[in-house]
Amino acid sequence: MTDADQLSATIALDEEAVAPRDESLEPAGFTVEVDAAERIHFLDWGEPDGGVRSDPSTAFPGLIAIHGLAQTAWGWAPVARRLARERRVVAPDLRGHGLSDAPTHGYDEATLAADVIAVAEGADLLGDPAGGGPVLAGHGFGAIVAAWAARELGSGCRGLVLVDGGWEDVAASSGLAVDEFLRTIEEPPEVLRSMAAYLADRRAFDPSTWDTDQDRAARAAVVELPAGRVVSSTRPHALAGAVAAMFAYRPLEVLAAIEAQIVALVATDPAGSREADLDFAQRARDAAGRPPILVARYPTVGHNLLRYRPAAVAAAVRTFD
């Protein structure tokens, strides 16, 4: 066995034990006020089975689920529909995204982490009697924000799930500046010419996984203009601020400081560089005396595991029960 083999701990996630998608579950929308009277919106799928936990000491830990760049909380719906009968599931819109306020400031590590913690507090998920507080999970850029929040919570975080992100130094791996990266994620004009064109583009990613949740998540990420075109619902200054924060992320420092167990779901890695980054992250955690990162790999699907493998993401959350 090589040193690299010893560093990464592969985990087999039990997707068959996850409940099927429950289309009857619908979240309520709430806001929490943070500093300077800024409001962060979040979706809350409520107490399991719509009631108060009869025995909080035996309840499953709640989940705070954080969306990716230029997305919204609705992206987590496929996972929430598989978990919300057994635990609280809360998904915020990051500042500048979705229905949250979009101030011109606050797109930095400390503020983004504080926003997540404010949502956890507002949803009464801090100090969860189920043990060790909530599980934090994030997709892409949301994994970075979740890691920042997990570090701040310390022992108040039950576990951290990194969904295809959160272990890479994006600035180093991309070799781009912030403005260059922003240009790479711009949508082609033909995709934005109408809502129908935009939805058709999103559906074409994988028609077999397109459903009402995907339609709603896609619509929430854009605004339809009176002339018929669509634009991103994420404000340009917020997107630029989020990307700048992503480029400032230093995964070795942050992941080594997180007390909780980490599970990482890896979608694609054609060049093998992401596995190397995972090994660097685990070396940093090992040096800090932290438990190994548990890794599940899905090399044949795309980045959006919330859409393509929601049962796997749900199973990763359930590893902390």
pLDDT tens-digit readout, 197-254: 999 999 999 999 999 999 999 999 999 999 999 999 999 999 999 999 999 999 999 9
pLDDT tens-digit readout, 63-93: 999 999 999 999 999 999 999 999 999 999 9
When the pLDDT of each residue in the chain is averaged and rounded to a whole number, the result is: 92
Is residue 6 very low, low, confident or very high in pLDDT (cuts 50, 70, 90)?
Answer: very low
User: Which pLDDT score is estimated for 2?
Assistant: 39
Q: Is the pLDDT of residue 113 over 50?
A: yes
Q: Is the pLDDT of residue 285 over 60?
A: yes
pLDDT tens-digit readout, 152-177: 999 999 999 999 999 999 999 999 99
Q: How far apart are the first and last CA of the chain?
A: 31
Q: Where are the beta strands (DSSP E) in the chain?
A: 9-10, 28-33, 39-44, 63-66, 89-92, 135-139, 159-163, 222-224, 230-232, 262-266, 294-297
User: Which pLDDT score is estimated for 35?
Assistant: 84
User: Which pLDDT score is estimated for 53?
Assistant: 47
**Superfamily for domain range 3-175+234-318:** Alpha/Beta hydrolase fold, catalytic domain (3.40.50.1820)
Cβ atoms of 166 and 264 within 8 Å: the answer is yes
User: Which pLDDT score is estimated for 274?
Assistant: 86
CA angle 58, 64, 67 (to 5 degrees): 150
Residue ranges per domain, the chain? 3-175+234-318
